[in-house]
Amino acid sequence: MSWTEEDWTKLRVVVVDDSKPVRSMMKLMLLSLGVGEVLLYENVAEAMNGIEDEQPDLVISDYYMVPETGLDLLKRIRESTESLTRELPFLMMSGYEKTDAGFPNGISGYMPKPVTTDLVKEHILSACVIKQ
User: pLDDT by residue (tens digit) across 40-76?
Assistant: 999 999 999 999 999 999 999 999 999 999 999 999 9
Q: Which amino acid belongs to residue 79?
A: E
Contacts 24+ apart (CB under 8 A), 26-30: 26/60, 26/115, 26/120, 29/115, 29/117, 29/120, 30/120
Q: Over the Cα atoms of the chain, what is R_g?
A: 13
User: What is the distance of C-alpha 72 from the center of its chain?
Assistant: 14
Summarize pLDDT for 21-34 with one digit per residue, the tens.
999 999 999 999 99
What gap in Å lies between CA 42 and CA 17, rounded to an integer?
Answer: 5
**For the whole prediction, is pTM greater than 0.75?**
yes
